[in-house]
Amino acid sequence: MRDKTLNIRKILLNLVLKGVNKKLMELSCVVIDDEPSGITMVEDLIGQTAGTALRSSFDNAFDALNYLHTNGPVDVVFSDISMPFINGIEAAKLLDAHCRFLIFITAHRDYGPEAFEVNADGYLLKPLMKTRFLELVHKLLKEKSKADERFKDDRVLLIKGGLKNNYLNVLSENILYIKALANYVQIYGIDGVKTTYMGLIAVEHALEGNRAFLKINRSTIIAVNKIHHIDGYTVVMNDEAKFTVGKQYKLFFNEFLSKRVLNP
């Protein structure tokens, strides 16, 4: 009888999550665990749970931090605690800047006080119970929804500056185009050029859903309302800068044109 009740509870939670997910963006996730079986366990749950999307998995916190620094933050980091080199508690202080929520997944009950001290957002015990996982995801989706409603403003883009915890405020309506160089990105605007040491992928995530911007090659994002004219696959911007549409971006570029050209 108890198993039947748990199964019904799981079904209802998944239905709730599917309904929530129609209104919310997914929770992007990263998994860190030094044991392959631990990674597989969390990956399987993410794959089965509506409202979650796996970005990548790592067997150590060092590689995960490098990935997040290059590719930008995620919503949730699911991390083991007992790991070699850098354990989960030590890594939490560094991971905090790269995720919205940090969830510890461990086989040990006695790390609770340490997890509380580093402000973890959840503490799940192995082996993971699917119901507990679903409940936690539902809670995080609601918290993300509330935060997004409070801070949603497509006009403002915060980019990481050259110093730790230093961010520059950029008005999206002032942006002409964004160019990726060796290990940094330059944002060209009507008010000058700003440099950020975020990767271009991280900037793309920040602009996700904003239709005012279009990526036209591997290293360039343009503001569509700052295009002066288009000559074939050459785009000329208002400041006369010219960019060539990359081969793999031509299909999306043609779709962009077809929706905006009058009397094609």
Q: Which of 64-73, 166-175, 214-223 has the lowest mean pLDDT?
A: 166-175
Q: Are 81 and 59 in contact (CB under 8 A)?
A: no
Model pTM above 0.75: no
**Nearest-angstrom CA–CA distance, 232 and 247:** 13
Q: Could you tell me which of 215, 226, 212 has the C-alpha nearest to residue 157? A: 212
With pLDDT > 90 as the criterion, what percentage of the chain qualifies? 47
- Per DSSP, helices labelled H in 61-206 are 61-71, 88-95, 112-117, 130-151, 200-206
Bridge partners for 39 per DSSP:
none
Domains of the chain: 2-151 (3.40.50.2300), 156-258 (2.40.50.1020)
**164 pLDDT exceeds 90?**
no
What percent of the chain stands above pLDDT 70?
81
pLDDT at 172: 81
Instruction: Round the average pLDDT of the chain to a whole number and report it.
Output: 83
- Hey, what are 254's tokens? 């043609």
At 19, which helix (H) or strand (E)? helix 2-21
pLDDT digits (tens, 9 = 90+) for 24-33: 468 999 999 9
